[in-house]
Amino acid sequence: MENIGTLEYVLDKYSKIWSWKVTGDRAVGMISRLVPEAWYGENVDEVIIPDSTESVKQIKLIMGRYPLEILSKSVWQRKIVKTYAPKPVLPPVKLKLKRAKTGVQFRGKLLNFQKEGLDFLLKSSGNALLADEMGLGKTVQTLSYAATEKQTFPILVVAPLVTLKNWEREIEKFLKKKSKNGRILESESPSVTLIRTGKSHELPKTDIYIINYELLFKRREDLENLGIRTIVCDEVHNLRSKTTQKYKAVKKLAASPSILYRIGLSGTPIYNRGSEIWPIIDIIKPGLLGSFKEFCEYFCYVNEKGKAIVLENKRASLRNELQKHVMLRRKKADVLKELKDKVRYKEVIAADTDYYLEELDKIWTKVEAEQKDDDATEFSKSASYHRAIQSERQIAGIAKVPHVINFVKNIMEIEESVVVFCHHKVIHKLLHQSLQEFSPVSIIGGQSDSIRQDQIDKFQKGESKLMIAGIRAGNVGINLTRAKYVIFAELDWSPAIHRQAEDRLHRIGQKNTVFAYYLIGNGTLDDHVANILVDKSYEIDEIMDESKENYENKDKAELILAQIQDKIHSK
């Protein structure tokens, strides 16, 4: 095989340290992607790499596929010795929790780990982030707290629109009514007002108010007059940006003099990057992580896009700080011993690359014209670019639809229930039409609560063995334990979205191993998205949990991407 460049051991002119120099246009292109510590040499086709164990490992990874001519053979063949101190390992915070007894207003039974969750909420004085993995019953633990702690009513529940009815059902199922004289009414449940309109008007006096995030800023003044004592933010990652209206509305409500308890619920409080935890904690326990500037100065670095990323050597200390003061995080593997594993596969499938490249050319030709328009504003140019990215995602999905359909049919042949998630409505429609032989049920944005629940019930009862769901419409507030196969026909930018979707199946009540298939369209934007998901997953796992999940080999993923880029540029 032909060499793509040379490798030489040199004394770097600028740093004055012995390093590895790689030359050759193709070799430099690959190294610059795989070794972030590298820097350019004196010439454009040179790159200098520090002489460390990790760097040599990456060079060897490349040379397994693309050989380099070694100009310093004796040095290259020597045994590399680690010259840096190992990363300090912080002992995890171990909470001593007992199995708390529920109050008389609670109806039903808690599992043992849920009783410990109740104890955590009691010990944290109701100002806490309950971050158990999806499917462990955060809702029921919160309701048990409301029934046990004193002076919790009236309660405001802020949640995604699709989960409002579920909260109403859970309240009726698990809580008993307490009369004004303190008597428990066994056959009744607390009064609930479901707020479904943004028009301002006086709200009735009830025990619990339920509202979605998007309406909150419109009804904030009405809610401020109710003397709310407990605010519960379900799927609290909705508050991960401190610049949004919903964040500002919750922040102001949570600071009301009447509020005693602030509870955030999310199995994925960090969606994309670790700094997203700051706005959430700022609402639940203001000041715990300092100001945002102080938090970033201590825990983060700023990447090339201006985003605050938590430093690798600070992720464990951030996790410990959260667990010590505000966050309870349990994984299903730790508390549900009877729950089987969840297994992920990244499956590269064929795609219609002729169609994809032809449509891609049309998209970017249009973008170039819009960018050159002298009358266009910076805002319209930015919007044009983002439209192009969304269009590229859609054509990537369309390009692989026939192969996704074949994959689904192969799974359905063994007569197992299957859930397929996609992103775009056009992909949802194509899948639904092409898989009619299986009489699929659907979850998609814009459905009414009753239709959505009817579709879920049909699937859970076995009346249909195939569910086709929008990944953003069907990733929260539903139970799909009938299935053990979940297929991602399209990828989302956030790993948290995928995990929430997986855990519609992998939760209490699931008796089988759950198999998650991520279908990557060969030669499409999927390659890039998959790589981003890996990077984001590593940061999230190290902050939320004690170790990274080993479902993806990062080095291998990066090498694959580098190979794809090399093929594109060498044509």
Q: What is the DSSP letter of 236?
A: G
Determine contact, residues 527/399, Cβ cutoff 8 Å.
no
> Could you please report the per-residue DSSP string of 172-224?
HHHB-EE-TTS-EETT----EEEE---S--PPP--SEEEEEHHHHHHHHHHHH
Determine contact, residues 251/284, Cβ cutoff 8 Å.
no
Residue 166: how many CB atoms within 10 A of its CB? 20
Cβ burial, residue 261 (10 Å; 0-12/13-18/19+) = buried
Domain annotation for the chain: domains and CATH numbers: 6-76 (no CATH), 112-335 (3.40.50.10810), 342-569 (3.40.50.300)
Give, for all 571 residues of the chain, the pLDDT tens digit: 678 889 998 887 766 678 888 998 888 877 776 776 677 777 778 888 888 777 888 888 888 778 888 988 877 876 544 433 344 556 666 678 999 999 999 998 999 999 999 999 999 999 999 999 887 899 999 999 999 999 999 999 999 987 898 899 999 999 999 988 889 999 999 999 999 999 999 999 999 999 999 999 999 999 999 999 999 999 999 999 999 999 999 999 999 999 999 999 998 898 788 999 999 999 999 999 999 989 988 888 877 677 888 888 888 889 999 999 999 999 887 887 777 777 787 888 888 988 988 988 888 888 888 877 777 777 777 777 778 778 888 888 899 999 999 889 888 876 678 999 999 899 999 999 999 999 999 998 888 888 988 999 999 999 999 999 998 877 677 788 888 889 999 988 777 788 888 888 888 888 888 888 888 888 888 877 777 676 667 667 777 776 554 434 445 444 544 544 454 445 4
Q: Which of 411, 366, 373, 357 is nearest to 387 (CA)?
A: 366
Q: What is the DSSP letter of 345?
A: E
Calpha distance 140→117 (Å, rounded): 10
End-to-end CA distance of the chain: 17
Look at residue 136 and give its three-state secondary structure: coil
> Residues 6 or more apart from 330 whose CB is under 8 A from it?
113, 117, 132, 133, 136
Cβ burial, residue 183 (10 Å; 0-12/13-18/19+) = exposed
pTM over 0.85: no
Structure tokens at 507: 């939760």
Half-sphere exposure of 509 (CA within 13 A, CB side): 15
Q: How many helices (H) and strands (E) does the chain have?
A: 19, 22
Greatest distance between any 2 Cα atoms in the chain: 89
